[in-house]
Structure 1
Amino acid sequence: MGFEGDDDDDDDMSEVMSGGGRGGVRKERPLKSWSDRAILQAAEDVSGPECLVVLTHGTRLATALRELRSDLRFAFFTTEHFFARTLHSFHSDAGQSGAVSIHCAAEPPDGPFQSILFPTLAGDSSEVAQELFQSLQTRLVSGGRLIVSTNAAKGHWIDSQLKAVFSRVEQQKFPRGHVFTAWKSGPLKRLRGFRARFDFRHQERVLVCETRPGVFSHRRLDGGARALIRALSLVRDGQSSESVVERIVELGCGCGAVSAAAAVSFPQAQILAIDSDARAVECTAQTARLNDLSQMQVVLDSEGTIPNPGQWDLLLGNPPYYSDFRIAELFLQAARRALRPGGQVLIVTKPVEWQEARMKQLFHNVQAHRFGEYTVFSGQQKRP
């Protein structure tokens, strides 16, 4: 499915705070997503007092809803740490009053809720939506409503998936999308499982990874992750008495496959796995338990904040390619802060020009290592 227009693009990492508000609510820019605007219109007559709002693409809708329906108690749910930070900055009264709560977790809050609002975009992961529809149904009171919006040109798929878990679904078609209202009549007879596990061999171990929809490397080992794992031997074989690897950090850990492999390659090392998505953090923690890797710790973070800066021996990263390399830049700056002098960084990528040029600006002894269609760049922290 494709997007329908420019104004359907939603919030990005450059969300701007503007002005000041009253009562703990700060003003944000107007809604530009059709899906958000459709939810806002539908919210005019939703039942309360408890209303859950699922935010997977941005946070502007939260302020608009609070201004429209001050009579409701809103619970804003996101799995993305950056969105949670943004919500806290605009809604400083969260947790201090009964009017609003913010939840950044792998699962939505338990509820129960009279109403749930869920704006979606064309091109969203179908499995993530299916898992959420089922999860949200269990959090509604009997007779409660889930309202879903989409800017997709066709609404057949969402309609069919909602009807798989709700007994009654109504659809409204608009020139720029669809709005669905689903009513809960009773508990589900059967809960479908969406989690999966896969295994892969690394050295003498067979490692098992826990995954779920929306988590990087779901159901299989991603090619970039495999390349990064293969590149671990470059560091292991190059160790000396002065360069023993004892502290490793991975940014963007996904399901934890790379961190688990690093724990096997460097059994004496402390491993810190970081991701901005709460589902990924949950999966990595489970991967560590499944493989009895007690040296692995997992942290939820979206700022590139790594404890004990200047003391880490190795940083591993597989940054996404979107956002004009802004996230890749965040990874590299985090490596500069985290690594000790002479510490090493391994970054895997497909587009090589920007990555190579930027790493040569920031690190010493930068080299490219080709693994199939992926390139792993290695570099060393410059010494004073």
Structure 2
Amino acid sequence: MQIPITNDACQADDVVSVRNPLPTESLLIDALAPRVADWSIQRAIVVSPGRAQVAGFLTQSLPIISTIAWYQDLFSATQARKELDERVIVECSSDLPEGEVDLVAIPLLKRGEAELSRDLLQQAHQRLANGGYLAASVDNPKDQWLHGQMQRLLDKVTCHRTDGGCVYWGCKSNSTIKIKDFSCKFVFRGEDGTHLQAYSRPGVFSHRRVDVGARQLMRSADIEPGNNILDLGCGAGTVAIASAVQTDGRVFAVDSNARAIECTNVGAQLNDLQNITSILNADGQLTFPVDIDLVLANPPYYGNDAIAQHFVDVARRALRPGGALLVVTKRPRWYAEYFEDRFVDTAIFESSRYFIACGRKP
């Protein structure tokens, strides 16, 4: 089974294939079914936290020219591609596809990230042609927040409330709205005292700040000049950036989140670092032009062991013999057991409120 290489909360929660629509997606399909034929739709974008069954519904129900199921995460996009009508275009990128469309459909989760939702709703409005429709749903029957966001974007919003959640839709009549930039540039201190710059966006793990776990990883890494390093699940790239200033070797930053890769690339440019290579990857099948001396990993601290196991297995394959793996975690016992037959010179030590598990590849 493939597991996403990311520390993003929403993606890590959704590693199991969802063949039935998520409740929020079912709500949107049910609301669109009696209406969408009257909306003159030729091109549509569907943003989905699941498997984009709304896109399949549109393709099968309408003589539509183009339906794009958009994902920020490559793992989710790959899983959706396996289950969707082949006429649906599945795209993974950091932003919604360019070009005017007649419908953007966005099923949201009540546990989702508010700033990312605002960003996507704003982009949806920008992509709509005048007269096009924005439709959004949420699995919260008491919702007020999404209703307010839709009212900021559209002159008239229709609301359909059910016991399972709310659906809103409206027609774009005003092409000018105040555009908010949700990205963030911030400064953090490297372990050698250097002030470094980072760039993050909604949907990327630890937006606007250095994660405490990532900080412990930076403090624990013993980087030698010339080391080639792999940052597995790089997020906004803070660990990769902090590592790259300490070595003349190569630093490879890997994540399944397209925005994470974008942020890491921007961060490398801000710090004028030429030795960082960012890789969008979801299956862990990686090859490198140099031997990897050190892998630094910050997997999700929750969920089942499959995610942690995937990170460790990918790291072990990537390392040269004698190369080291450092993982930051809040679950040291599992790593102690899993490292036992796979690494030598293993150790686990406490760092702030976290633990660092380390070992060398035989």
Give the TM-score, by structure 1 length: 0.85
Q: Which position in structure 1 is the counterpart of 2:17?
A: 15
What is the CA distance between 1:127 and its match in structure 2?
Answer: 0.5
Equivalent position of 1:177 in the other structure: 165
Q: Distance in 2 between matches of 1:80 and 1:322?
A: 19
Does 1:246 pair with 2:236? Answer: no
Aligned to 2:288: 308
Identify the range of structure 1 (54-63 vs 42-51) with the bigger mean alpha-carbon deviation. Answer: 54-63
| Corresponding residue number in structure 2 for 1:379 | 359
Q: Tell me the residue number matched to 1:4.
A: none
The 3 A distance-change label for structure 1 pair 290 and 11 is closer
Instruction: For structure 1, list consecutive stretches of 5 or more residues without a partner in the other structure.
Output: 1-9, 17-28, 94-98
Task: Tell me the amino acid that sits aligned with residue 78 of structure 2.
Answer: R
Per mean C-alpha deviation after superposition, the further-off stretch among 369-378 and 36-45 is 36-45
Greater shift in the superposed pair: 36-45 or 125-134: 36-45
Q: Which residue of 2 aligns with 1:190?
A: 178
Given the superposition, is the C-alpha separation of residues 281 and 72 from structure 1 closer, same or farther in structure 2, using an over 3 Å criterion?
same
Tell me which residue corresponds to 1:7.
none
How big is each residue's C-alpha offset from its partner over 1:343-370, in whole Å with a ceiling of 9 and x where there is no partner?
Answer: 0001001122112221223211111132
SS at structure 2 position matched to 1:135: helix
Q: Does 1:257 align with 2:250?
A: no
- Counterpart position of 2:211: 222
TM norm structure 2: 0.90
Q: Is the 8 A contact 1:39 1:148 kept in 2?
A: yes
Find the aligned partners of 1:70 and 1:323 in 2 and give their Cα distance.
41
How do residues 117-266 of structure 1 correspond to structure 2 at under 5 angstroms? 117-202=105-190, 203-232=192-221, 235-236=222-223, 245-266=226-247
Worse-superposed segment, 41-50 or 140-149: 41-50
2: CA distance, partners of 1:70 / 1:89: 22
Moved more, 190-199 or 351-360: 351-360
Task: Give 1:247 deviation, angstroms.
Answer: 1.5
Displacement of 1:102 in angstroms is: 1.9
**1:56 CA displacement:** 2.5
Please point out which of 315, 330, 336 is paired with 1:335. Answer: 315
Residues 58 and 64, structure 2, Cα contact 8 Å, conserved in 1: no
Write the distance in 2 (CA, Å) between the matches of 1:224 and 1:369: 13
Q: Which of the numbers 317, 341, 353 marks the counterpart of 2:333?
A: 353
Deviations 1:312-361 (A, max 9, x none): 11111000133302211111010111011100001001122112221223
**SS of match in other structure, 2:179:** coil
Deviation (angstroms), 1:249: 0.7
Alpha-carbon distance in 2 for matches of 1:162, 1:134: 9
Q: Distance in 2 between matches of 1:14 and 1:189?
A: 38
CA distance in 2, matches of 1:11, 1:372: 26
For 1:38, the equivalent position in structure 2 comes to 27
* Alpha-carbon shift at residue 70 of structure 1 (Å): 5.1
Per-residue deviation, 1:64: 4.0
Any conservation in 1 of the 2:51–2:80 contact (CA below 8 Å)?
A: no
Asked if the contact 1:148–1:180 (Cα under 8 Å) also holds between the matched residues in 2, the reply is: yes
Amino acid at match of 1:127: E
* Amino acid of the structure 1 residue aligned with 2:312: L
Task: Tell me, in whole angstroms, the C-alpha distance in 1 between the residues paired with 2:290 and 2:197.
Answer: 32
For 1:79, which of 55, 72, 78 is the aligned residue? 72
**Cα offset, 1:59, TM superposition:** 3.9
Residue 6 (structure 1) aligns with: none
Q: How big is the shift at 1:103? A: 1.5
Cα shift readout 1:36-56 (whole Å, capped 9, x = no counterpart): 111212332323111110123
Distance 2:357 2:103 in 1: 49
For 2:339 and 2:312, the matched residues in 1 are separated by: 8
SS of equivalent to 1:305: coil
Aligned AA for 1:55? S
**Match for residue 54 of structure 1?**
47
The answer to whether the 8 A contact 2:158-2:170 is kept is yes
Output the CA distance in 1 between the equivalents of 2:170 and 2:50: 21
Aligned residue-pair number: 346
- Look up the SS of the partner of 1:128 in the other structure: helix
The 1:11–1:284 alpha-carbon spacing in structure 2 relative to 1, beyond 3 Å, is: closer
- Aligned equivalents of 1:196 and 1:187: distance in 2? 26
Letter paired with 1:30: N
Q: 1:176 to 1:101 in 2, by over 3 A?
A: same
Per-residue CA deviations over 1:250-273 (Å, capped at 9, x if unaligned) read 11101100000110122x110110
Q: Distance in 2 between matches of 1:52 and 1:60?
A: 12
Q: Is the 8 A contact 1:349 1:376 kept in 2?
A: yes
> For residues 340 and 330 of structure 1, what CA distance do their matches in structure 2 show?
18
Q: Distance in 1 between matches of 2:85 and 2:137?
A: 28
CA offset digits 1:277-323 (Å, max 9, x no partner): 11111101000000001100101111112213993111110001333
Q: Is the 8 A contact 1:310 1:338 kept in 2?
A: no
The verdict on how the C-alpha distance between 1:37 and 1:370 changes in structure 2, with shifts beyond 3 A counting, is same
Alignment correspondent of 2:347: 367
